[in-house]
Amino acid sequence: MRLGRVRSDGRPLRVGIVCPYSFDVPGGVQFHVRDLAEALMARGHQVSVLAPADDDTPVPDYLTAAGKAVPVRYNGSVARLTFGPMTAARVRKWLAQGQFDVLHLHEPVTPSLSMLALWIADGPVVATFHTAQVRSRSMQVAYPLVRQSLEKISARIAVSEDARRTLVEHLGGDAVVIPNGVYVDTFAAARPDARWTGTPTAPTVAFLGRLDESRKGLPVLLGAVGRVLDEVPGARFLVAGRGDTGADQAREVLGERAGAVEFLGGVSDEDKARLLASVDVYCAPQTGGESFGIVLVEAMSAGTAVVASDLGAFSRVLDDGAAGVLFRVGDSEDLARTLVRVLRDPDLRARVRATASESVRRYDWSVVTDQVQAVYEMAVAGRDAPVGEDPSSVRGARLLELRRSRGER
């Protein structure tokens, strides 16, 4: 085990990480926070994570649950957030107990735990920005609430060039780009599952994503299925993700041919790795709002050929089409043509897999953790005192309680 000794006195760091989104329904940011915490702990650091979660939600030992979250439409999807005076009190207690050398906030302009922690905390603060949108109405609304508090941030991270651009355009300042991480070897070592393994006459195509979020692109994929079946009659489409609208959509679009689409429901991390290692193609038909594309990296790590919409973030992950095959965003006909070409050409699949297996190494957690640790080192340089409470936050807490008592949102 390699210890991450970045303090001047040689001791491992005490790191507090705040996730704004609930662990009741995990998503990309939650998985990123979980994996980062465990990668840091594997190096000997002391890590505590604060995140929304119900009392009966199974969470890791290092996670402190900040209470029940409520679903809110945010940045084109549904986020489960918690906010308010009681939550602020929990943040204050967690900070006091942690005595952290560095505080790492994810999405600090989201009206949830991270924003509260930014208001309350004083000391070495690192912030990671995940959102990537041309125009983020929610970020524009939140900016006046955190404008002064943003000055507390010692170092900024963006998970992609797209996220960095969104940060610069909406909030000003800049950030170092450090991508999301993946345990590459875990996916590379996953064993195929016979239930999902394709054959030359019945190849398999996988999709993972929330079924009730249109931006994840399931309607685009369903619009392509019929045309693919015309050319490759035995093709099977394996759809994994939460939501109960997918089967109805498939029947509406495909009629009697809807049986070619199999809905697997939510899958565990282990089954996700096996699914990606089994199929011939992973399809990412997202239509927007993607800052990175972690599932593309997971599929690449598992040795699966990737077909993805040509969003900027996806194109960069796939090295402009060298490590995967791109199609026009939202164009089901172009997706169908692309899938047919890739499914019929094993040499093409082999080429993009070979390129992907080399390029994906830059996303391994061993590399990403080095980069995050370097940012921590910069943030704590010259700061001997642990993260504490900003005296002005008491006044802010009173204002928040006053607005709550008046019934203001």
Which residues are CB-neighbours of 271 under 8 A, at least 6 positions away? 193, 240
> Do residues 281 and 304 make contact, with C-beta atoms less than 8 angstroms apart?
yes
Q: What is the pLDDT of residue 8?
A: 55
| CATH topology identical between 14-181+364-405 and 185-361 | yes
Does residue 12 contact residue 46 with C-beta atoms inside 8 Å?
yes
Give residue 60's pLDDT: 93
Which pLDDT value is given to residue 1? 36
> Half-sphere exposure (CA, 13 Å, Cβ side) for 336?
17
- Is residue 289 left, alpha or beta, with left meaning phi > 0 and alpha meaning psi from -120 to 50? left
From residue 350, how far is each of 1, 311, 353, 409 by CA, in Å? 35, 23, 5, 54
pTM for this prediction: 0.86
Residue 249 exposure: Cα atoms within 13 Å on the Cβ side: 21
What is the percent of the chain where pLDDT is above 90? Answer: 66
Q: Which CATH superfamily is domain 14-181+364-405 in?
A: Glycogen Phosphorylase B; (3.40.50.2000)
Question: What architecture does CATH give domain 185-361?
Answer: 3-Layer(aba) Sandwich (3.40)
Segments of the chain scoring below 50 in pLDDT: 1-3
Residue 244, number of CB atoms within 10 A of its CB = 10
The answer to whether 360 touches 184, Cβ cutoff 8 Å, is yes
Residues 6+ apart with CB under 8 A from 185: 301, 364
- In the chain, what are the domain boundaries? 14-181+364-405, 185-361
